[in-house]
Amino acid sequence: MLRNIPSILSPDLLWTLRAMGHGDELVIADANFPATALGARCHRLDGVTATDVLQAVLTVLPLDQFVPNPAVVMEVVDDPNAVPPIVAQFQDITTTTADNPAAMGKLERFAFYDRAKSAFAIVQTGETRLYGNIILKKGVIGV
């Protein structure tokens, strides 16, 4: 464990967050997400909720200010306007924690998979609520 850094950020996840650059994307995925199949870099946080991971990640990761939706979630299959409770929580956490608390975008299930495939990394959590998936685009820190 380290001082002042949330302890659920594992060594590999910290490495990834620090190595990512402007525009690189991180997927926080639920326990049913095909993360191993899609992601070249796949970190696991079994037993931890996606909302706890999002909260911890946003304390260190800046969000991109060059795009309108630096965070994107997955649409409910056959009900694109639905907002599952976990997605509402994602928005709350982003609003209160992120350095750049913009509104979230949305992607259809297979379009979400395609974008996840080219992400920098996927974090597979132990989240058992369906639709517990979110993509974050990293921003810059200047002087």
Binding site for its own copies (CB under 8 A): 1-5, 7-12, 14-24, 31-37, 44-48, 52, 59-62, 66, 77, 99, 120, 124, 126, 128-130, 140-143
CA distances from 73 to 7, 19, 36, 60, 105 (A): 25, 23, 19, 20, 6
CA 59 to chain centre: 13
Active-site position among 22, 92, 99, 114: 22
Considering the complex, state which of residue 16 and residue 72 has its C-beta at the smaller distance from its own copies. Answer: 16
Give the nearest distance from C-beta 82 to its own copies in angstroms.
15
Smallest gap from residue 134 Cβ to its own copies (A): 16
Provide, rounded to whole angstroms, the least separation between the CB of residue 120 and its own copies.
6
For the purposes of burial, counting CB atoms within 10 Å of the CB of 1, is it exposed (0-12), middle (13-18) or buried (19 or more)?
exposed
- Long-range contact pairs involving 36-40 (C-beta distance under 8 Å, separation at least 24): 36/124, 38/113, 38/116, 38/117, 38/122, 39/116, 39/117, 39/119, 39/121, 39/122, 40/121
The residue among 8 and 104 lying less far from its own copies, judged by its C-beta, is 8
Q: Which helix (H) or strand (E) holds 87?
A: helix 85-97
**Catalytic site residue from 12, 24, 52, 113:** 113
Q: Which is nearer to its own copies, 17 or 72 (CB)?
A: 17
Q: Which is nearer to its own copies, 106 or 129 (CB)?
A: 129
Is residue 22 annotated as a catalytic residue, yes or no?
A: yes
Active-site annotation holds for 113: yes
The set of catalytic residues is: 22, 64, 113
